[in-house]
Amino acid sequence: MNYPNGRRGSKTNLAPKGKTKPDFSNRGMSLEEDINVTNEYYLQAGVAVVHKKPTPVQIVQVDYPKRSAAVIKEAYFKQASTTDFNGVYRGKYIDFEAKETKNKTSFPLSNVHQHQIDHMRAVQAHDGISFMIIKFTPLDETYLLPSSAIFSFWEDQWNGGRKSIPYAYITNEGIKIPFHYQARVHYATAIDKLYF
């Protein structure tokens, strides 16, 4: 078989007999990078317009050994950022945060900040679609969890409740997002199931 890069496939590259499930364990990309690739695909295919929000930074000190090699020596975040991504899908404003965890049994709420919860509540109050994409890296499983499913856990943790969202809850209340070749984190299908 000839591949797009011009190389010819060899029989030694074929998967062993009996192995039917593809192995994506060495994709070498973080969740955020996979979402960026997905968003680029969505934009090119006319599915959605979603972009990563830039983090506002105040540059304080720059070293200019020469103009082409300027190095930022000191910088500070101007303000706490809100969520990672926002845009438009099927005529609705969407806004979401992407998080990875190495935990297999729960998602620690220490990965989320109060200003992010406040922002997701504000988006939801204005009839926008707000959610979190959570990847359990050891399990190689990714879920879309609506922000409304997070709020009660967020409040309960301050009243002696658990400080994490159980994996079982996420699998029940969220939508599993399978890996796809072009749309690596094909979250649009999960949005369709939950909101349309």
* Burial (0-12, 13-18, 19+ Cβ within 10 Å), 40: middle
Task: Enter the tokens of residue 139.
Answer: 């399990």
Distances (CA, A) of 181 to 9, 27, 78: 19, 11, 37
Distance CA 65, CA 58 (A): 21
For residue 50, list its beta bridge partners. Answer: 87
Task: Report DSSP letters for 94-147, one per residue.
Answer: EEEEEEEES-SSEEEGGGS-HHHHHHHHHHHHTT-EEEEEEEETTTTEEEEEET
Dihedral pair phi/psi, residue 106, rounded to 5°:
-165, 165
- In three-state secondary structure terms, 175 is strand
Mean model confidence pLDDT for the chain: 85
Dihedral pair phi/psi, residue 64, rounded to 5°:
-110, 75
Q: Are 132 and 150 in contact (CB under 8 A)?
A: yes
14: Cα separation from own chain's centroid:
32
Can you give the residue ranges of every domain in the chain?
28-195
pLDDT class for 80, splitting at 50, 70, 90?
Answer: low
Instruction: Lowest mean pLDDT of 29-38, 51-60, 98-107, 132-141, name the range.
Output: 51-60
The answer to the question of whether 84 is labelled as a binding residue is: yes
Can you give the pLDDT at residue 172? Answer: 97
Provide mean pLDDT across the span 178-192.
94
Residue 22: pLDDT over 60: no
- For the question of whether the overall pTM of this predicted structure is more than 0.75, the answer is yes
Q: Which CATH class is domain 28-195?
A: alpha beta
Residue 72: pLDDT over 90: no
Q: Which of 187, 145, 174, 195 minimizes the C-alpha distance to 47?
A: 187
pLDDT digits (tens, 9 = 90+) for 81-96: 689 999 999 999 999 9
Q: Are 194 and 175 in contact (CB under 8 A)?
A: yes
The answer to the question of whether 82 is labelled as a binding residue is: yes
Q: Are 97 and 132 in contact (CB under 8 A)?
A: yes
